[in-house]
Each structure stands twice: as structure tokens, then as C-alpha cells.
């Protein structure tokens, strides 16, 4: 399944994989695909990307709630909006795969 991400989404996913990824072989493949903009993923890769992005989203929300700074941090707000957009695309692809 081929996904279409905007540049902001691609950059965010790549940064998240580099910063928060578990450095597994599977995530390394995802990172290389994102960096090379080879956005054709098989079902297993889609599921891994979906799981990873949902985990990051959960952690960011939890951190923002714990620190109470979500509404006052425009960078976090932008990151969360970009992440949600990317995650919606991945979820849609998972549903049709």
C-alpha cells in the first residue's frame, strides 16, 4: 500500500523513528523507507508504523497532561496535529490492507 505524506509528516515520522524508535531491524527499514520517500508498505510494515505512531502519540499526550503545558506550547500543538494527520493516513491504509 502506498501512502502519501506531506513534507511535515515525513520529517516528523523520520525524527520520531530516530529519537524514539527501538532501533530494531523492522523500524530501521521503516526509517530508510521514509528517508528515501519509498512509501510503499506491506501489511506488516503498516501495522508496525501504526503501532509506533500510536505509542508516540500516547506518550506525548501523557507528558503534556502531566506537565500541563499542552495549550501553551505551540510546537507541541503543531507536532500533535501533524502526528494525528499522519496517523489517520496510516490507520486508513491499515483498514484497507
Q: Is the pTM of this model over 0.85?
A: yes
Name the β-bridge partners of 2: 40
Look at residue 70 in the predicted model and tell me its pLDDT: 58
Mean of pLDDT over the chain: 91
Tell me which of 21 and 28 has the higher pLDDT.
28
Tell me which of 47 and 97 has the higher pLDDT.
47
**Cell numbers representing residue 44 in the block:** 506488516
Look at residue 91 in the predicted model and tell me its pLDDT: 96
Q: Could you please report the per-residue DSSP string of 43-90? A: HHHHHHHHHHHHHHHHHHHHHHHHHT-TTT-HHHHHHHHHHHHHHHHH
Amino acid at each position: 500500500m502506498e501512502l502519501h505524506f506531506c513534507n511535515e509528516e515525513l520529517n516528523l515520522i523520520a525524527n520520531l523513528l530516530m529519537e524514539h524508535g527501538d532501533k530494531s531491524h523492522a523500524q530501521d527499514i521503516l526509517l530508510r523507507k521514509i528517508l528515501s520517500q519509498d512509501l510503499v508498505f506491506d501489511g506488516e510494515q503498516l501495522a508496525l508504523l501504526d503501532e509506533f505512531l500510536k505509542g508516540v502519540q500516547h506518550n506525548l499526550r501523557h507528558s503534556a497532561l502531566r506537565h500541563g503545558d499542552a495549550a501553551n506550547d505551540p510546537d507541541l500543538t503543531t507536532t500533535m496535529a501533524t502526528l494525528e494527520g499522519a496517523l489517520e493516513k496510516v490507520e486508513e491504509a491499515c483498514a484497507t490492507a
